[in-house]
A and B are shown apart, each in its own frame.
Chain A
Amino acid sequence: MSSLSESKSSDVNSKKRAISIENLGLVYRTTLDKRPTFKTRIRRLARRKRQTRIVHAVNNLSLEINYGTVLGVIGTNGAGKSSLMRVISGILPPTSGRVEVFGKVSTLLALGVGFNGKLTGRDNLYLGGLAAGMSRAQIESKFDSIVEFAGLEEVIDAPMRTYSSGMYSRLAFSVAISLDPDILIIDEALSAGDARYKVKSLEKVLEMRNQDRVIIIVSHAMKTLKTVCDEVLWLDHGKIVAQGDPTTVIKAYREFLHVGDAPESDEDL
């Protein structure tokens, strides 16, 4: 690794904008009762009211991300992290605001990798890739290395419902890094792997960091984020609470959670 020339090139490229988000808002509309049905519609019509639960998952958020950045995204459960990633990937249309993307984003998020538990890991991989717009040949050429990196050669032809959560996230991460987009989004795919796999995946991220793309990592694993990120974004209720130097932001986030410097909070859970 010739770190000198690489750091130089990343210096030049870091000035290039990758993602520009302006006043972004995203609203989910779900019915109060879990399933919208004729029955409930008619009943509600009779009562003349609409009972929809409106969730402002992302709230008037503005953000600029440049090439050459590894951005960590943190926040409590339900803070809107996954929702923001879905908008950036073009999966969910914004409710308000505007997102500009300069480059190719991974249009398959980790959580979509094992979308059908009845199908085998192999089928899920192919279908996920094809849905995201890859060709069969592209997937075929990457298939072996994905499975090998995940270390799942033995179970790849078993239904995904039989996978452990660690196996699941191994596959998800392995897919994410092999998609090879300019803007890579890793949502929750780093968690649940065992220690050995975690080291392996961290090395991979560090290796990709030098390739001057944008890597966005959503994780609750603070230690990992501190190691690999240039910048950390703290979201809460769909808004940015803090953004900047990983150590500072994570420290503030910890204080907010009242976990202080307890070593458990540092662990990659």
Chain B
Amino acid sequence: MKPDPASPSVIYQPFTHGLPPLGGYAKSLWARREFIFEYARADLHQKQYGSILGQIWLVINPLILAGVYYLLLIIIGARGGPDRFGHLTGTLFLFYLITNSITAGAKSVTSGAKLILNASFPRLVLPLAETLIAFMKFVPTLVVLFVIHTILGLPYSLHMLWAPVIIVLTLFFAASCAILASIINVYFRDAQNLLPYFSRTLLYLSPVLYTAQSLDANLNFLKVINPLFPILDTWSAVVIRAEAPDPTNLLLALGYSLFLFSIGTFIFLSREREFAVRI
């Protein structure tokens, strides 16, 4: 019944700064999927988002923000109109999915120190759980978006079926960013203080307060160098204008996500065994 003494079931040896066996890692990550869900559920529950009032707050908060930005747009003399408000709310909600994931992801490893020091598990679950939390906070805003869309009399079409694809792409992107942010924060603890400025800048560089079409031709490079640009632009096209997504945008978004994901996981996996002795 007891293990065969001839062959050890586990051997722990010093690691070099290489990757752990990827197959085994993926397997143990998959085995922790319930941890990710339970972590997200417990976190949201603890923050009172389980209650009706909490859920309403989840929705009202970004809605107020959208209102404030709309006011700003009108004051600085931008063209108003229902499609404009629809674009603003729709992209703002998706934008917050990404930045919430980055902000919470940044703290995920450092604030999980107690668990990291006392349990053995693939550390990647920590930033991934934060992305899931950001997603669960995003879901109720989709309902609001649908209501606004209908009230404003914006168009519907079959192209809107692309929405889930774009959400999945966004999640992939958001998770990659969360992973990167979490590593940076292990080595530079003040990184999280810079995040508000970072996300504010990203907001202004993204087609949220303006649309991609209205962008000055001189600034067209933003469409390529800002990784968020293609995602938010496609989201607006599909969900607000009910148009077909631009394939270039989709490919660009996928490319950026794959790129950030590869870098993020590579650094994370080659460094995660060191986290415990550094936090």
Contacts and interface: CB of A to CB of B under 8 A. Distances in A.
Given A102-B8, A103-B3, A132-B121, A127 B39 contact: yes
Interface stretch (A86-94, A143-151, A240-248): A86-94
B31 A133 contact: yes
A1 to B, nearest CB: 20
A115 B114 contact: yes
A146 B247 CA distance: 55
Nearest to A85: B118
Contact of A108 (B13, B28, B119, B189): B119
A109 interface: yes
Interface in B73-121: 112, 114-121
Given A93-B273, A130-B32, A131-B35, A111 B187 contact: no
A258 interface: no
A101 B2 contact: no
A128 B119 contact: yes
A99 B11 contact: yes
B9 A104 contact: yes
Given A37-B189, A94-B13, A96-B14, A111 B114 contact: yes
Contacts of B115: 112, 115-116, 127-128, 131
Given A38-B188, A119-B46, A133 B121 contact: yes
Contacts of B34: 130, 135-136
Contact of B189 (A35, A93, A110, A136): A35
A30 B277 CA distance: 8
Nearest to B12: A99
A183 B250 CA distance: 51
Interface in A112-163: 112-113, 115-116, 118-120, 123, 126-128, 130-133, 135-136, 159
A102 B4 contact: yes
Contacts of A93: 12-15, 273-274
Interface residues of A, number: 60
B39 to A, nearest CB: 6
Interface in A2-43: 13, 16-17, 20, 26-30, 35-39, 41
A209 interface: no
B190 interface: yes
B246 interface: no
Contact of B118 (A16, A28, A108): A108
Given A37-B190, A101-B10, A109 B119 contact: yes
Interface of A: 13, 16-17, 20, 26-30, 35-39, 41, 67, 86-87, 89-105, 107-113, 115-116, 118-120, 123, 126-128, 130-133, 135-136, 159, 182, 212
Name the 3 nearest CB pairs between A and B, nearest first. A112-B118, A100-B8, A130-B35
29 contacts: A16-B3, A35-B189, A35-B190, A38-B188, A38-B191, A92-B276, A94-B12, A95-B14, A96-B14, A99-B11, A101-B11, A102-B3, A102-B8, A105-B10, A108-B118, A111-B114, A111-B117, A112-B115, A112-B119, A115-B118, A119-B43, A123-B46, A127-B35, A130-B38, A131-B35, A133-B31, A136-B38, A182-B3, A212-B2
Interface of B: 2-5, 7-15, 28, 31-32, 34-35, 38-39, 42-43, 45-46, 112, 114-121, 125, 187-191, 194, 273-274, 276-278
Given A91-B119, A103-B2, A112-B119, 8 more contacts: A26-B277, A93-B273, A93-B274, A94-B12, A102-B9, A131-B119, A133-B31, A159-B46
